[in-house]
Structure 1
Amino acid sequence: MTTSDRTMDAITAAVTRGREGDTAAARSALLGLWAEITPTGDPFHRCTLAHYLADLHDDPAQALVWDVRALDAADALTNDRVREHHAGLAVRGFYPSLHLNLADNFRRLGSFDAARAHLDAAAEYVDALGDDPYGAMIRTALDEIAADVRGGSTARRASAPGS
């Protein structure tokens, strides 16, 4: 990490709480931070918070709201800003996961054309993923979602993050 950031530390703590099973407390903490950040605050904070908060909603419509917010915030990000947090980050690398989540939400809602559009958008950025476990996880999830779209499935994926 390049710099200390109280807001990112609080987001990380809330995400950890959610991953440990206390999703209600994690959602509450992230919503409280969202109120502090505001919808026009630091795009890095907004993108990160919204991306993780979406994962804490089982309802794809609720998750979709937060995933759209995350994508909008990413569009306002600069590489300089993300590198303030970590020198190895680039905004381009955020897009495969952001579009993956949107594709999955739309698929679960039965909006297969919108899901395909986000799968296509993710494919434009997949080269930004590393040849590492994270990159492999995103590529696998994109393949799973594409197969579910082809099959017309709206079922929650067993490998999807969330509660």
Structure 2
Amino acid sequence: MAEIGAAVEQGRAGDTEEARRRLAELWEHPAVQGDPFHRCALAHYAADLEPEVADELRWDERALAAADEVVPGQQTPLDVGSFYPSLHLNLGDAHRRVGDLATARDHLARARACVDVLPDDGYGRLIRGGIERLGERLESS
């Protein structure tokens, strides 16, 4: 997680190309491939660094697939269940941007269905707001 976090911070600092390269390299690492939590976290962050929506969507799909592989009760650094609203929000928005409105609406419904797991803090408000904005965008489509 430390290496993933360092790459994410590098991207947030503006060096997105190097951050994408590092995350792609880490994706191939056996420790990441052997742990669905690490794959989920890495893919979730990598999607945010992609300039092309098709590449972002591919990472978002990997993140959701990995989250689904985490065994209930498995010890993880963070509760993967709390990732689902954000994962579905990101997938819904990416599908909206590529014009797949039916799939976007499906992910919006799934995000809304699990929003209660979000904490009542800045992160929770950020994701809830994103879900509402996605709903508004899809209503006007």
Structure 1 distance, partners of 2:31, 2:17, is 21
Q: Give distance in 2, aligned partners of 1:39 and 1:14.
A: 14
Task: Kindly indicate whether the alpha-carbon contact (under 8 Å) linking 1:129 and 1:135 is maintained by their aligned counterparts in 2.
Answer: yes
More helix by share: 2
How many residues matched?
Answer: 140
Larger relative contact order (Cα-Cα within 8 Å, sequence gap ≥ 6): 1
User: Identity of counterpart residues, as a percentage?
Assistant: 49
Letter in 1 for 2:26: L
**Which structure 2 residue ranges, 5 or more long, are not aligned?**
none
Residue 34 of structure 2 corresponds to 41
Q: Name structure 1 gaps, 5 residues minimum.
A: 1-7, 153-163
- Distance of 2:3 and 2:55 partners within structure 1: 22
TM-superposed CA distance for 1:46, in Å, is: 0.3
How far apart are 1:90 and its partner, in Å?
2.4
TM-score normalized by structure 2? 0.94
Contact 2:88 2:111 in 1 (8 A): yes
1:95 lines up with 2:89 in the alignment: no
- Matched residue of 1:80: which SS? coil
> Is 2:27–2:39's contact at 8 Å kept on the other side of the alignment?
yes
The Cα RMSD (Å) is 1.4
1:37 CA drift (Å)? 3.6
* CA deviation profile, 1:79-137 (whole Å, cap 9, x unmatched): 4232xx2xxx3222110000000001000011111100000011111000010000000
Q: How many angstroms apart in 2 are the aligned matches of 1:39 and 1:66?
A: 14
Aligned to 2:74, what secondary structure does the other structure show? helix
Pairwise CA distance, 1:40? 4.4
When normalised by structure 1's length, the TM-score is: 0.82
Structure 1 residue aligned with 2:65: 72
